[in-house]
Amino acid sequence: MSVRNHSFVTEFVIVGFPGLQPEFYGLASAVLLIVYCCTLIGNFAVLILFATPNILHKPMYIIILNLVVSDVLFSTTTLPKIIARYWFQAGAVSFIGCFLQMYLVHYFGSVTSFLLLIMALDRYVAICFPLRYPMIIKNSTIHILNATAWIVAKACPLMMVIRAYPLPYCDSNTILQCFCDHISITKLACTDRAPYSFPAFVTAMVVLLGPLVFIIFSYCSIIVAVLQIASPQGRLKTLSTCSSQLIIIALYYLPRCFIYLASNIGIRFSTDLHIVIIMSYSLLPPMINPLIYCFKTKDMKQTLMKKFKKSTAP
């Protein structure tokens, strides 16, 4: 009998936080709804800012635009279902729907990782090779790199889904997570998941650590270049152009690296705490990033202030 014929599960049930008491379901759904609304409002505000003035049509802001789209799509993929689970007790998701969500979760995560690499490349060339920057980093170049990121990111999540979908799922169908991802789904398979989990782990490390290695290299090179600037004011001015990017990169990579490192050195968390950490680094950056874009990048801050003054003028 084929492996596929052993799959008796027709739908999965997203549990969310298993230790959460029913009397707090309304509060949990309200908090998640606020996070989702703030994410949409903040990121759509950035899209509106980008759509109007030509001053933002520069390589760095084109990268930010792509990050905004990725953040909105990731939040829309994950949050509505877990909100419905707590608000309407509608945690069931179809077999195919769960794998579709798994693909999209890992896809948008991969896209963000590659876009952060492009962001680091932009800053690396701008600071280490300032005279060659206009020739190397053009809007057309960034468009090509961004498109490449969106296309290349499809491969790894697709491989995960292709390998996980045919596994036999014949026992529990409850997913101890707020959305369908590779680990939470394959844990439910009625077979040894080691041959499937290790390649997925290697793939995740390539997608996560590959860009991170270049990002670390680029910012180390930037620090060396900045230290060669004689003027203290010049050093601070140069570093300030990287501050927003460093905050965004730290929000994305540090919690993920901590979770992977902790799991490999034997640090164990409760299921609820583990889910809270994952939800925090998955959903808070898309909500916080628009504030970083608007208040830590000079052109966007100036554009925002102009629009605010125009709207409040009598």
> What's the Cα-to-Cα distance from 114 to each of 150, 209, 259, 294, rounded to whole Å?
8, 11, 20, 22
pLDDT of residue 2: 42
pLDDT above 70 for 284: yes
Characterize the bridge pairing of strands 11-14 and 174-175. parallel
Q: Which residue has the tokens 């992977």?
A: 260
pLDDT above 90 for 202: no
- Average pLDDT of the residues of the chain: 85
Q: Are 301 and 294 in contact (CB under 8 A)?
A: yes
Query: What mean pLDDT comes out for the span 92-115?
Result: 94
> Please, what is the angle between helix 25-51 and helix 271-296, to 10°?
30
The C-alpha atoms of residue 10 and residue 246 are separated, in whole angstroms, by 44
Q: Residue 245's closest CA among 273, 222, 277, 279?
A: 222
pLDDT in tens, 127-161: 999 899 999 999 999 999 999 999 999 998 998 89
What is the 3 state secondary structure string of 22-49? HHHHHHHHHHHHHHHHHHHHHHHHHHHH
Residue 121 has φ and ψ, to the nearest 5°, of: -60, -45
Q: Tell me how far apart the terminal alpha carbons of the chain are, to the nearest angstrom.
A: 76
Q: Report the percentage of the chain scoring pLDDT > 70.
A: 91
The C-alpha atoms of residue 124 and residue 219 are separated, in whole angstroms, by 7
The C-alpha atoms of residue 93 and residue 71 are separated, in whole angstroms, by 22
The C-alpha atoms of residue 71 and residue 43 are separated, in whole angstroms, by 8
- pTM for the full model? 0.88
Which domains are present in the chain?
A: 11-305 (1.20.1070.10)
pLDDT in tens, 13-59: 999 898 889 899 999 999 999 999 999 999 998 888 887 766 778 88
pLDDT in tens, 152-191: 999 989 988 998 888 888 878 899 889 998 888 888 888 8
The C-alpha atoms of residue 18 and residue 212 are separated, in whole angstroms, by 33
Query: What mean pLDDT comes out for the span 199-219?
Result: 85
pLDDT of residue 268: 77
Higher pLDDT, 303 or 119: 119
